[in-house]
Structure 1
């Protein structure tokens, strides 16, 4: 007589970790909105310091073993921290100058930019599907900005949208460099975030010299931003990529703009409208189309 196995099915660690990271990333615009009372560069410093602390446990026992190939020290300790600063700092500055939902969605076009950069440097050309996907994704952002443009209010938010776009470009370049660097960056993340935080603090002294009191609620939101979206989320995503099906895990990231828009609407930060989910859907479709030829 055959005995039926009572073994439990293993939990899908990879997809669950990926979903957790996506939820944390989607919470970033809401946390930023809660911390708008803090000047952007000071908020960037708080978030990056918290991110450095969140990544610190991962580096314990690994930094001594990780060896940087010759010629990559300047990239790991110079270029990448500046890209992290550009991504986080520009995002926070942009969302402080423009509507949160619209600015966040512009930044979330970065996966398409990443595909464009990767294909250009790999093949020296851009294929039809990649260009088509990019057009669809940026068309979604244009749809979201159309009401402002038609009412003449776009010029007042243009600087914020520009910073949001710069943040997306920095994330795309950061992701491409992470892919090309011959060593995993996980052991170096605390140092990378710390360097970026020091530069942000120095810039804040020069560009934000006025003395202002920092509310505890804003500091808490900034710390949560660093610990969650810029700390634990990166850890969870690393676990997801290493323990789950790449295609399934990668597709989870497309849900970030939709989930972020949902959080903002539920919290009352963004007004419910058909343009917001439609634009987020176009960004997702564009990302999927662009990746089909990579």
Structure 2
């Protein structure tokens, strides 16, 4: 169905996000977030030039979009800097499970079953194994725990946004997909203001510029528009299970890029987290 194809397109782009974040970890996080989001927002300009009402959204909708795009990526990029990247990536990708488990709180007609509770426990157990395995394999101190906490926070932020978007579509308070460009533009400008006030100046080379452009047009640009269409047209629970392709693809790519070999904790954690999503979405 078209909704699942949109979701798969977003998933394919998001699989690159953590690897790009690690490749650009020398770029200050506010600067990285700001530039990438502004580049991504440019994709909505053709729609806005044709109809300026595409950016006419309620203040609370704008606030939700800005908080999500700004907060999610800032927390993720900071987490990738202070804790093992592969484990942070797995914890961050608990958001599909949160979409399934929290759906009854947002969407009418959906109830939480015992299988959902078991799925939540299994998913969190997988995240715990990833975290403990990361500490064991890298010898990092407990300070790295903040990185995992930030990744968990970013996962909750994205799950909340996704479910709010679906609820708005069901209750007739929908916003145009092109409005995501406005969310990205405002979030990007806010990030750049924070960079000017809080971070040292940074010199970017041609490689940095190319990677930032790729991040902006892909994971922080087109992926958002595809995801929005998927949520508005499809079943959030089906999309949730498709989303668990992302941690496997993203983690595999991240390990290839970083040259880090697979170990038992990563393999077990990935299987548990994906199994949790399958269990949660198949519960009737």
Answer whether TM exceeds 0.5 for this pair: yes
- The match for 2:159 among 172, 177, 190 is 172
- Residue aligned with 1:47, SS: helix
Mean CA deviation greater in 249-258 or 195-204: 249-258
Change in 2 beyond 3 A, CA 1:116/1:207: farther
Q: Does 1:265 align with 2:255?
A: yes
For the pair shown, the structure with the greater C-alpha radius of gyration is 1
Change in 2 beyond 3 A, CA 1:199/1:272: same
Separation of aligned partners in 1, 2:235 and 2:65: 27
Are the counterparts in 2 of residues 59 and 190 from structure 1 also a CA contact under 8 Å?
no
Map Cα deviations across residues 213-249 of structure 1 (whole Å, 9 max, x no partner): 1233223222211210121123334555678888765
Separation of aligned partners in 2, 1:60 and 1:273: 51
Change in 2 beyond 3 A, CA 1:93/1:65: closer
Map Cα deviations across residues 170-200 of structure 1 (whole Å, 9 max, x no partner): 1111112212221134121111111111211
1:106 positional shift: 0.8
Q: Which residue of 1 aligns with 2:88?
A: 103
Ranges in structure 1 where 5+ consecutive residues have no aligned partner: 1-11
Change in 2 beyond 3 A, CA 1:34/1:174: same
Q: Does 1:189 align with 2:180?
A: yes
Mean CA deviation greater in 213-222 or 53-62: 53-62
Separation of aligned partners in 1, 2:18 and 2:106: 31
Q: Which residue of 2 aligns with 1:49?
A: 38
Q: Which residue of 1 aligns with 2:268?
A: 278
Q: Which residue of 2 aligns with 1:142?
A: 128
After superposition, residues 1-294 of structure 1 pair within 5 angstroms as 15-64=4-53, 68=57, 73-121=58-106, 126-149=112-135, 153-181=140-168, 182-208=173-199, 210-238=200-228, 250-293=240-283
Mean CA deviation greater in 227-236 or 123-132: 123-132
* TM-score normalised over the length of structure 1: 0.82
Separation of aligned partners in 2, 1:170 and 1:293: 24
Tell me the matched-pair count: 278
* TM-score normalised over the length of structure 2: 0.85
Separation of aligned partners in 1, 2:230 and 2:24: 29
Ranges in structure 2 where 5+ consecutive residues have no aligned partner: none
Separation of aligned partners in 2, 1:125 and 1:251: 17
Map Cα deviations across residues 41-63 of structure 1 (whole Å, 9 max, x no partner): 10000111111112333444354
Change in 2 beyond 3 A, CA 1:217/1:105: same
Change in 2 beyond 3 A, CA 1:167/1:242: closer
